[in-house]
């Protein structure tokens, strides 16, 4: 992907990719004081479409509110900016990354207190492709249970998609890679299943689809919400409850959902095969239903697609 062809939206203006820069003393760089979104862009028969754009922008501003970051743009203005960025992106640009953060102190100094810092907002479009891998989408990802614990809601604003929260995810993902795995699942302070490094977790066990509740310390995923809706339309009610680690090993199917991961089956967890070690029938059914939606082939959910 020739990123020099792409434009980046920065504080109300489209700039060349190579000119999208921030100062080394930017507060968000030092303290993780920012919020972001990840949004997929899909090719449909009617042209390029951004998946659930408005919902992402609503969550973006809600995350900013939680860390007292004042974003000077409305949901509508941010949606327009996202469309503008996608229109100028290369053909393989399939992933939008809006980010807002505390910027440079007007006096040029740095400190923990962000109150005198301005807010900066940027939106870029890049290529993501298959996040975990194309082979894993069919045969299942190899996953470990990370030794890194998910922070509790007493120590972090877990419902905010905040940049600082993701150091925890980075550490877990590095651990997975070093152990030869594709991804990691994190437990929370209670020892129950929370989420992956950037994905929500679902499992199929004894005929039920289960997923951890928000109280388990997970992000309220937009893809997660989409899958719960699609499962209901297919006749399956998703039960939100605490999930013990051992239930992952004895599940018939386990899969991850997220903007990047979409619907990715899990083949093994800590070296133990999940079901038959590849995508099961429920996972495949949801993968297919989700693919129809994002390609614009499901008339029930055209409202989820923002045509550019």
219-235 pLDDT, tens digit each: 999 999 999 999 999 99
Do 121 and 251 share a domain, yes or no?
Answer: no
Q: Is 21 a catalytic residue?
A: no
155 plus 119 within the same structural domain: no
Q: Residue 218 belongs to what domain range?
A: 134-294
**236 and 193 assigned to the same domain:** yes
Residue 192 DSSP one-character state:
B
Whether residue 2 is predicted with pLDDT greater than 60 in this model: the reply is no
Euclidean distance between CA atoms 216 and 237, whole angstroms: 19
Let me know whether 166 and 209 are in one domain.
Answer: yes
d(CA 40, CA 59): 15
Q: Which residues of 247-285 are buried (b: 16+ CB within 10 A; e: fewer)?
A: bbeebbbbbbbbbbbbbbbbbbbeeeebbeebbbebbbb
For the segment 231-262, what is each residue's pLDDT rounded down to a tens digit?
Answer: 999 999 899 999 999 999 999 999 999 999 99
Rounded Cα distance between 263 and 248, Å, is: 17
Q: Is residue 301 part of a domain?
A: no
Of 68, 96, 126, the one marking the end of a domain is: 126
Here the tokens at position 27 are 């507060």
Encoded tokens for 188? 């929370």
Secondary structure class of 247 (helix, strand, coil): helix
> CA-to-CA distance for 92 and 41, rounded, in angstroms?
9
168: domain CATH number?
3.20.10.10
DSSP 3-state helix, strand, coil percentages of the chain (rounded to 5)? 35, 30, 40
Q: Token digits for 230?
A: 């699609």
Q: Rounded to whole angstroms, how far apart are CA atoms 194 and 276? A: 24
Domain stops at, among 126, 150, 175:
126
Residue 164 and residue 236 in one domain = yes
Q: Which two tokens stand for residue 295?
A: 């390609």
Together in a domain, 269 and 289: yes
| Crossing angle of the two packed helices 75-87 and 53-66, in degrees rounded to 10 | 130
Going by pLDDT thresholds of 50, 70 and 90, the confidence category of residue 4 is very low
Closest CA to 86 of 35, 20, 42, 130: 42
pTM greater than 0.85: yes
Within this chain, do residues 151 and 234 fall inside the same structural domain, yes or no? yes
| Whether 169 and 116 share a structural domain | no
Residues 6+ apart with CB under 8 A from 154: none
Is the separation of the CB atoms in 305 and 298 below 8 Å?
Answer: no
Task: Identify the domain boundary among 71, 93, 126.
Answer: 126
Catalytic-role residue among 161, 276, 284, 295? 161
The continuous run of DSSP H or E covering 102 comes out as strand 95-102
Taking a C-beta distance cutoff of 8 angstroms, is the pair 269, 239 a contact? no
- Note whether residue 300 is domain-resident: no
Mean pLDDT of the chain: 94
In this structure, are residues 198 and 219 in contact, taking their beta carbons and an 8 Å threshold? Answer: no
Q: What residues does 13 pair with on adjacent strands?
A: 10
Instruction: Give CA–CA dist 195/24, Å, rounded.
Output: 32
Say how many domains are in the chain.
2
Q: Given pLDDT bands bounded at 50, 70 and 90, which one contains residue 5?
A: low
Q: What is the pLDDT of residues 112-147, one digit of tens each?
A: 999 889 999 999 999 988 777 677 877 899 999 999
β-strand pairing of 7-10 with 183-187: unpaired
């Amino acid at each position: 992907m020739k990123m020099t062809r792409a434009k980046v939206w920065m504080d109300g203006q489209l700039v060349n990719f190579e000119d999208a820069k921030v100062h080394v003393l930017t507060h968000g760089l030092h303290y993780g004081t920012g919020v972001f979104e990840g949004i997929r862009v899909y090719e449909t028969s009617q042209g390029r479409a951004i998946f659930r754009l408005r919902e992402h922008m609503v969550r973006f501003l809600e995350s900013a509110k939680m860390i007292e970051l004042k974003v000077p743009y409305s949901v509508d203005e941010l949606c327009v900016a996202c469309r503008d960025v996608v229109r100028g992106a290369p053909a393989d640009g399939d992933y939008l990354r809006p980010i807002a953060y505390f910027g440079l102190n007007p006096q040029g100094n740095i400190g923990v207190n962000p109150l005198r810092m301005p807010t900066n907002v940027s939106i870029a479009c890049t290529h993501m492709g298959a996040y975990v891998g194309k082979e894993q989408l069919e045969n299942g990802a190899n996953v470990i249970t990370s030794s890194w614990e998910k922070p509790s809601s007493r120590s972090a604003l877990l419902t905010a998609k905040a940049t600082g929260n993701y150091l925890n995810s980075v550490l877990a993902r590095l651990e997975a890679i070093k152990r030869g795995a594709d991804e990691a699942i994190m437990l929370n302070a209670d020892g129950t299943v929370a989420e992956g490094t950037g994905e929500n977790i679902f499992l199929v066990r004894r005929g039920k689809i289960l997923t951890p509740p928000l109280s388990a310390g997970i992000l309220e995923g937009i893809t997660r919400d989409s899958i719960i809706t699609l499962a209901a339309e297919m006749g399956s009610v998703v039960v939100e409850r605490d999930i013990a680690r051992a239930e992952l090993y004895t599940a018939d199917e386990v899969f991850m959902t997220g903007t990047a991961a979409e619907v990715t089956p899990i083949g093994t967890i800590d070296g133990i095969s999940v079901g038959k070690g590849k995508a099961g029938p429920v996972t495949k059914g949801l993968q297919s239903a989700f693919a129809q939606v994002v390609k614009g082939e499901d008339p029930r959910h055209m409202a989820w697609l923002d045509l550019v």
